[in-house]
Amino acid sequence: MTTELVQLLTPEGRRVHHPEYAVDPSAAELRGLHRDMVLARRLDAEAVTLQRQGELALWPSLLGQEAAQIGSARALRPKDHAFPSYREHGVALVRNLDPAHLLSLFRGASNGSWDPAENNFHLYTLVIGSQALHATGYAMGVAKDGADTAVIGYFGDGASSQGDVAEAFTFGAVYDAPIVFFCQNNQWAISEPTERQTRVPLYRRAAGFGFPGVRVDGNDVLACLAVTRAALDHVRTGSGPMLVEAFTYRMGAHTTSDDPTKYRDEAEVEEWRAKDPILRLRRLLEREGHADEDWFAALDEEAETLGRRVREIVRTMPDPDPSVMFENVYADGHALVDEERARFAAYQESFADAGRSN
Amino acid sequence: MTTELVQLLTPEGRRVHHPEYAVDPSAAELRGLHRDMVLARRLDAEAVTLQRQGELALWPSLLGQEAAQIGSARALRPKDHAFPSYREHGVALVRNLDPAHLLSLFRGASNGSWDPAENNFHLYTLVIGSQALHATGYAMGVAKDGADTAVIGYFGDGASSQGDVAEAFTFGAVYDAPIVFFCQNNQWAISEPTERQTRVPLYRRAAGFGFPGVRVDGNDVLACLAVTRAALDHVRTGSGPMLVEAFTYRMGAHTTSDDPTKYRDEAEVEEWRAKDPILRLRRLLEREGHADEDWFAALDEEAETLGRRVREIVRTMPDPDPSVMFENVYADGHALVDEERARFAAYQESFADAGRSN
Amino acid sequence: MVTKSLPLAKALNEALRAALESDPKVLLMGEDIGKLGGVFRVTDGLQKDFGESRVMDSPLAESGIVGTAIGLALRGYRPVVEIQFDGFVFPAYDQIVTQLAKMPARSQGKVRLPVVIRIPYGGGIGAVEHHSESPEALFAHVAGLKIVSPSTPSDAYWMLRQAIESDDPVIFFEPKRRYWDKGEVDTEAVPGELHKAQVAREGTDLTLAAYGPMVKTCLQAAVAAEEEGRSIEVVDLRSVSPIDFDTIQASVEKTGRLVVVHEAPVFFGSGAEIAARITERCFHHLEAPVLRVGGYHAPYPPARLEEEYLPGLDRVLDAVDRSLAY
Amino acid sequence: MVTKSLPLAKALNEALRAALESDPKVLLMGEDIGKLGGVFRVTDGLQKDFGESRVMDSPLAESGIVGTAIGLALRGYRPVVEIQFDGFVFPAYDQIVTQLAKMPARSQGKVRLPVVIRIPYGGGIGAVEHHSESPEALFAHVAGLKIVSPSTPSDAYWMLRQAIESDDPVIFFEPKRRYWDKGEVDTEAVPGELHKAQVAREGTDLTLAAYGPMVKTCLQAAVAAEEEGRSIEVVDLRSVSPIDFDTIQASVEKTGRLVVVHEAPVFFGSGAEIAARITERCFHHLEAPVLRVGGYHAPYPPARLEEEYLPGLDRVLDAVDRSLAY
Ligand SMILES: Cc1ncc(C[n+]2csc(CCOP(=O)(O)OP(=O)(O)O)c2C)c(N)n1
Ligand SMILES: Cc1ncc(C[n+]2csc(CCOP(=O)(O)OP(=O)(O)O)c2C)c(N)n1
Ligand SMILES: [Mg+2]
Ligand SMILES: [Mg+2]
């Protein structure tokens, strides 16, 4: 496995040379990557806490996957488009999505309230694998437009088994669509280890569809940045898709509803703790002197501020007005929806009159 | 391509050595293969004619694919199971399925009237790709039973794009199912050439799912026999699926409803005519003296008899009784079906009484 | 006024051509729609004239077709998808009901998906299994979709153009056994509303409501009934979601009797919804229960039995008799 | 008599255990049903006791699960499939409606497919999108499938055992918000017929018909209505295909009024079919049109609005009032 894995930074924070992939970020860029990861983790941790306090319905934690998400997202150009699954809070952060949107979704106050066109960050997709086709179709459109834009589609190791993902590979390949399929192999699909989905490393799936695949150390933010950037450059040339498998680990539960002690050993988690993506970059920053204690302290402060903001957003988030149920189901109206909306309003009125509570 | 293609017999009917695959059929076996192919072609031609005469609703011709079908089917042991698509008339013949079943389906008199357990030949499946999963599930069952049985699942180049086929690859691989996926790449999916489905040869799809794939000359019955037999042996060992891509050509229209002049050049068809699978084996039989003129003449006679039998079957086939619509929808009955069946009978009765025709 | 006499399939072809001409964002996608022009030739000549980038032969994967159409719509395109036959829409069902139908609401209207899914549907052409089904009820239950089905070449032309212009996902069910029926098409007429029903024939004794292929059958039944002195009104629903209940109600308030006819199975079919709602709206006007004529609770039978399975003139007249007997 | 008080989810677990014990051909398949025991723990402990070969964690692909279950059934197995949540059944829709439902008829009965598909369904648990849907109507329209939904632990136990014993494909809808409700289960009682409705409470003024999660709501409504002097009969349908119209009819002939309640959208929902057929059967008995209470024609809303979307006590009582006002 190791030989197949692109790595530019060891768990100890030492740089490694790779014959094909390289990045040379400035000190400021390195600090930027670190900051993104720290903020993503803080946002995530706060959300987990809020869920425990009953403020959110659910939260899928990204813990452990910060490098895969931040590295890949930082490889995107502003005009590029990202199609997430449901765990890509780090990508959302890099794309400048207001966390209120994610929080409202997992609070159960919306099903995804943001405008994909605003940050070129598309809606979360909870049904496994579906978004791979949307991303591919989007990329097919980009190709038709002759635009210098690339698309990245995120999905998990479990998702790789869905027919939709295979069909996305076929459409992407046949239409030379500028899409990077970015698979975060966090080694678990809820309780199922990757062996329940595949016998061979997932990146190899690509070759059978006629495009390149590569496996990158998903806990190495530099490698994720370098490999994703190269992949985006590759697809931009019009030569069709590329698959990147980020080999990483889901450190937490699948979601706050899950109990991983039912199905996996703490020892495995421990092993991966040693490969922590944030610690790894911090070691590099320290070793190479790109950031000092003050900088780290300031970042901690910034993270705390973000945590407070997240709490504040959730605690002050109003419930939506029930009438929104009937809105936006159609653009051009629908007689039945109009009728039901009117009846619903009248029914609500009747309680206001009668004083009988709903 | 040629280097990838397993061939044991040239279009001129000369044997070729292959480092990995070999068969050494007796003269009788060689004649048997030839006979199967000739009979399959005759059955097919007769059905096409009958469709033109309005006796059948539709017929998908196997013309050109005789070697792929007979070679693969002859590789099966009696206990092995075949899951066809809708063009596998040659496989049906080898499995001893009464042609009346196929004819009744394409006459519109049944949707598939045979018992799969009788010949270990399953129902035709018209919805592209679905049967790949049934075959895989069956093979999973075989594995559970610890039986020494293998399963072969047929599908086309077009079908390779369907999500179900990819999912079948995943399930087959993950459960080590004894299944040979047999793709007849006849280079067309109705009007679409294989390039609409894939950028690379289809047999390579397998490696990305963790099992071997091989491309065989689909017009070479010896190679098809050898490769399929080896594949069946491979899957029988419990090491999971194998993919065989038989590279062949659909010489006729997609079905009798189709007009291929709209989308492909006669020159291409001509080119493949030179690679005819039957002629090729005949040349070998003649060159090596395994069969003489009398034998070929007797075979022609047998083929004519089959043709006559096919005509006879179709021309004397009764229309099913309308009441069969309500039969076998459920095993344990269903109140609504019972009610509708009774009403239908009463309604039919009323015409008998009133003399008003339906 | 530019009136031509066209078969229904050709009217659809002209509508697609006009849409491709008038809006560069319109795209056609589907299996065999390019060089072949579709198995029913509805897209005949369009790839030749508009190129492979706008008339795209797609890989053989319906979920892929609809899923990528959604992506193209997100990019600003207006894909018109062809599903080759009714029975082959189900591999795309998840993308249709979970993504296409819901994404606009999910995004609070920030995303609009102007995707049209054309489906030749229904029986009566002697085809093999899966080529004769009428699955409209399976889509009508799902909010976010609109479902229409024309019965004439003129409606075929205009309803398809309106469907393509709509910002909502529309499932466009084409009555395949009427593809070769000719009718006048005025390509400059100002069309009526896409989702309004039309009284196809006036009458006073009973209302027949139908859409798509069954409208013709109902009109024939009305003619036959007339000979027996019965005045039948025929309502061509045109739209299955929404259903224009106002027009049906107005008719039933006049006639007092309603029979709904469709090829799809009766159980959980359109007739159930219409019967339930019209009974609620017209409880004191109905002189007989709303009756339904449709397919049986059985898979579509082999072609040689389809005449027995499909609602034909006699079964419609039988229901008319039963209703009038109340 | 072996009676235990069990939560509904545990009753299902015991039914699966009993089925695995009594028939070596019974297999369980699904995502996360093994070590985890399913996200609702319905299969808890079963893989441990029966092994990985009989309780199979499957790849994440619903079409694959149902498609291979069909293959296993062809080999003589009796697969019981779990779909993790209602909203995730649609990738398997094609295999269910085109293959599972039709193959027995296609083969003229030579093939039988004793496959059970368990689906936790419905809302009320505060979940995110796709985890609260009620898609039963989308299956009931399809011939070849049977659809049931228990409302009590006892029915959960026995109906699941009967579904597994049936040689027909059965979609088994589990009322997930009632998983934790307790009830008496007698694992030795001789059960009634799987597809027969039961009068869950007798009454004389109006009939409420429901199934699955809404039965409890209807019983509560009946209690509340009693305080206002109204005698409500509650029919627990138990089966959505077939529907036991005889039992509903008998009730309506007594009460003269019917309100059908389900979580699924009203439009093209079960209530439509019941209203249409009962109106036909009881035209002269009905003193009011059959009314329907159900979901709106809108995607299931975000959890914080689900109380407004779901039919609750008040909406049921409102319909009762409206019916009685006729
Ligand atoms: C079609 C579908 N089936 C099942 C589920 C339930 N489910 C939610 S997440 C998940 C596992 C996904 O695993 P993976 O793709 O590896 O992503 P990860 O959660 O590890 O990020 C499952 C089975 C779903 N959301 N959609
Ligand atoms: C799901 C589905 N979509 C579309 C069709 C219509 N159709 C029938 S055959 C065919 C082409 C199949 O091509 P291929 O798999 O290469 O098999 P071949 O016909 O060449 O043997 C198509 C598109 C179908 N039967 N099923
Ligand atoms: Mg995972
Ligand atoms: Mg082909």
CB A315 within 8 A of CB A297: no
Spell out the domain ranges in chain D.
3-186, 198-324
Sign of CA dihedral B237, B243, B248, B251: positive
Query: What tokens does D271 get?
Result: 């209530």
Interatomic CA distance for residues C9 and B346, integer angstroms: 38
Contact with chain D for residue B170, Cβ under 8 A:
yes
Q: Considering the entire predicted model, what is its pTM?
A: 0.98
How many CB atoms lie under 10 A from the CB of residue C2? 8
Q: For chain B, what's the residue count?
A: 358
Query: What spatial distance separates the first Cα and last Cα of chain A, rounded to whole Å?
Result: 59
Contact with chain D for residue A117, Cβ under 8 A:
no
Contact with chain D for residue B279, Cβ under 8 A:
no
Chain B contact set for C67 (CB, 8 A):
none
Q: What percent of chain A has pLDDT over 70?
A: 97
CB C310 within 8 A of CB D300: no
C130, C131, C284, C285: the active-site residue: C131
Q: Which ligand 1 atom is nearest residue D32's CA? A: 23
Average pLDDT over residues C145-171: 98
Residue A185 alpha carbon to ligand 3 centre in Å = 5
Interatomic CA distance for residues C12 and C221, integer angstroms: 27
Query: What tokens does D44 get?
Result: 């808890």
Task: Say which amino acid occupies A336.
Answer: L
Chain C contact set for B263 (CB, 8 A):
35-36
Which string of DSSP letters, residue by residue, matches A139-164? HHHHHHHT-S--EEEEEETGGGGSHH
Helix (H) or strand (E) holding B112: none
- What's the confidence (pLDDT) of residue B2? 46
Beta strand extents in chain D (DSSP E only): 3-7, 26-30, 55-57, 78-82, 116-121, 146-148, 170-175, 182-186, 198-201, 206-210, 232-236, 239-241, 258-265, 291-295
- What's the confidence (pLDDT) of residue A357? 45
Q: Which residues contact B44 (CB under 8 A, 6 or more apart)?
A: B59, B61, B62, B63, B89
Q: Distance from C64 to chain B by nearest Cα, in Å?
A: 8
H helix intervals, A10-126 = 27-52, 66-74, 89-94, 99-107, 116-119
From residue D122, give the alpha-carbon distance in Å to each of B71, B314, C93, C157, D97.
Answer: 52, 51, 20, 41, 21
Is A209 close to B199, i.e. CB distance below 8 A? yes
Active site residue C297: no
Chain C contact set for B196 (CB, 8 A):
57-60
Ligand nearest to the CA of B129: 2
Is C297 close to B329, i.e. CB distance below 8 A? yes
Interatomic CA distance for residues C204 and C257, integer angstroms: 9
* Nearest chain D residue to A110, by CA: D302
CB-closest option in A117, A141, A331 to C104 = A331
Q: Which residue numbers of D have CB closer than 8 Å to A's CBs?
A: 31-32, 34-37, 39, 57-61, 63-64, 87-88, 90-91, 126-130, 267, 296-299, 301-305, 307-309, 312, 314-315, 318
CB D43 within 8 A of CB D83: no
Q: Which residues contact C43 (CB under 8 A, 6 or more apart)?
A: C13, C16, C28, C30, C33, C34, C37, C55, C82
Residue B252 alpha carbon to ligand 4 centre in Å = 11
- For atom 12 of ligand 2, which residue has the closest CA? B189
Helix (H) or strand (E) holding C43: none
Spell out the domain ranges in chain B.
2-315, 321-358
Secondary structure class of D167 (helix, strand, coil): coil
Residue B183 alpha carbon to ligand 4 centre in Å = 9
Task: Say which amino acid occupies C129.
Answer: E
Q: Which of A:136-165 have CB within 8 Å of C?
A: 136-142, 144-145, 163-164
CB B57 within 8 A of CB B39: no
Interatomic CA distance for residues A167 and A169, integer angstroms: 5
**Using a 6 Å cutoff on CB, does residue B157 contact ligand 2?**
yes
Ligand 1 pocket mutation pick from A72, A128, A249 by most atoms within 8 angstroms of CB = A128
Catalytic residue positions of D?
131
Second-level CATH architecture of A2-315: 3-Layer(aba) Sandwich (3.40)
Q: What percent of chain D has pLDDT over 90?
A: 98
CB C86 within 8 A of CB C142: no
**Using a 6 Å cutoff on CB, does residue B89 contact ligand 2?**
no
Q: Which ligand 1 atom is nearest residue A85's CA? A: 21
Second-level CATH architecture of D198-324: 3-Layer(aba) Sandwich (3.40)
- What's the confidence (pLDDT) of residue A2? 46
Interatomic CA distance for residues C262 and C310, integer angstroms: 9
CB-closest option in D87, D267, D299 to A336 = D267
Is B168 close to D67, i.e. CB distance below 8 A? yes
CA dihedral B24, B27, B32, B38 (to 10 degrees): 110
How many CB atoms lie under 10 A from the CB of residue D63? 31
Q: Give the residue from C300, C148, B125, C145 showing the smallest Cα distance to D142.
A: C300
Interatomic CA distance for residues D186 and D176, integer angstroms: 21
What are the average pLDDT values for consecutive 10-residue runs of chain B, which has 358 residues? 82 95 96 98 98 98 98 98 98 98 98 96 98 98 97 98 98 98 98 98 98 98 98 97 98 97 96 97 97 97 98 97 96 97 93 59
Task: Say which amino acid occupies A301.
Answer: E
Secondary structure class of B15 (helix, strand, coil): strand
Strands of B179-185's sheet in order across: B5-6, B213-217, B242-247, B179-185, B151-156, B81-83
User: Which position has the token pair 């400059």?
Assistant: C188
Span C273-298, pLDDT tens digits: 999 999 999 999 999 999 999 999 99
CB B162 within 8 A of CB C3: no
Chain A contact set for B167 (CB, 8 A):
161-163, 166
Find which of A171, A192, A199 to mutate to test the B interface (most B CBs within 10 Å of its CB): A199
CB-closest option in D127, D305, D314 to A356 = D314
Q: Distance from D246 to chain B by nearest Cα, in Å?
A: 10
Ligand 1 pocket mutation pick from D29, D31, D36, D60 by most atoms within 8 angstroms of CB = D60
Angle between the N-to-C axes of helices A99-107 and A27-52, in degrees from 0 to 180, rounded to the nearest 10: 20
Interatomic CA distance for residues A38 and D11, integer angstroms: 46
Query: Where does ligand 1 bind, in terms of residues with CB under 6 Å?
Result: A 87, 126-128, 156-159, 186, 188-190, 250, 254; D 31, 60, 62, 84, 88, 91
CB D31 within 8 A of CB D53: no
Q: Which ligand 2 atom is nearest residue B156's CA? A: 15
Cβ contacts below 8 Å, chain C against chain D, sum to 125
Secondary structure class of B67 (helix, strand, coil): helix
Q: Which ligand 2 atom is nearest residue B130's CA? A: 1
Could you please state the CATH topology (level 3) that the domain comprising D3-186 is classified under.
Rossmann fold (3.40.50)
Q: Which residues contact D90 (CB under 8 A, 6 or more apart)?
A: A127, C93, C94, C97, C98, D62, D135
- For atom 3 of ligand 1, which residue has the closest CA? D88
Confidence of residue C2 (pLDDT cuts 50, 70, 90): confident
Residue A268 alpha carbon to ligand 3 centre in Å = 15
From residue A55, give the alpha-carbon distance in Å to each of A103, A123, A322.
Answer: 10, 22, 19
Contact with chain D for residue A190, Cβ under 8 A:
yes
**Ligand 4 is a single-atom ion; what residues have CB below 5 A from it?**
B 156-157, 186, 189
- What's the confidence (pLDDT) of residue A350? 86
Interatomic CA distance for residues B93 and B65, integer angstroms: 14
Interatomic CA distance for residues B291 and C47, integer angstroms: 52
Chain C contact set for D93 (CB, 8 A):
90, 93-94
Average pLDDT over residues A154-180: 98
CB C101 within 8 A of CB A337: no
- What's the confidence (pLDDT) of residue A3? 61
Interatomic CA distance for residues B45 and C93, integer angstroms: 38
Q: Which residues of B316-334 are buried (b: 16+ CB within 10 A; e: fewer)?
A: ebeebebebbbebbbbeeb
**ipTM for the assembly:** 0.98
Secondary structure class of A327 (helix, strand, coil): coil
Contact with chain C for residue A229, Cβ under 8 A:
no
Interatomic CA distance for residues C149 and C136, integer angstroms: 9
Q: Which residues contact D268 (CB under 8 A, 6 or more apart)?
A: C137, C140, C141, C268, C270, C272, C273, D137
What are the average pLDDT values for consecutive 10-residue runs of chain D, which has 326 residues? 92 98 98 98 98 98 98 98 98 98 97 98 97 98 98 98 98 98 94 96 98 98 97 98 98 98 98 98 97 98 97 97 97
Phi, psi of C147 (to 5 degrees): -130, 125
Average pLDDT over residues A340-355: 85
Confidence of residue A354 (pLDDT cuts 50, 70, 90): low
Secondary structure class of A215 (helix, strand, coil): strand
- What's the confidence (pLDDT) of residue B3? 60
Query: What tokens does A251 get?
Result: 């450190």
Is B136 close to D67, i.e. CB distance below 8 A? yes
Span A214-224, pLDDT tens digits: 999 999 999 99
Burial of C18 (0-12, 13-18, 19+ CB in 10 A): middle
Is C272 close to D267, i.e. CB distance below 8 A? no
Peptide bond into D242 cis (omega under 30): yes
**Using a 6 Å cutoff on CB, does residue C93 contact ligand 2?**
no
Average pLDDT over residues C248-263: 98
From residue C286, give the alpha-carbon distance in Å to each of A266, C207, C253, D273, D280.
Answer: 70, 11, 8, 18, 12
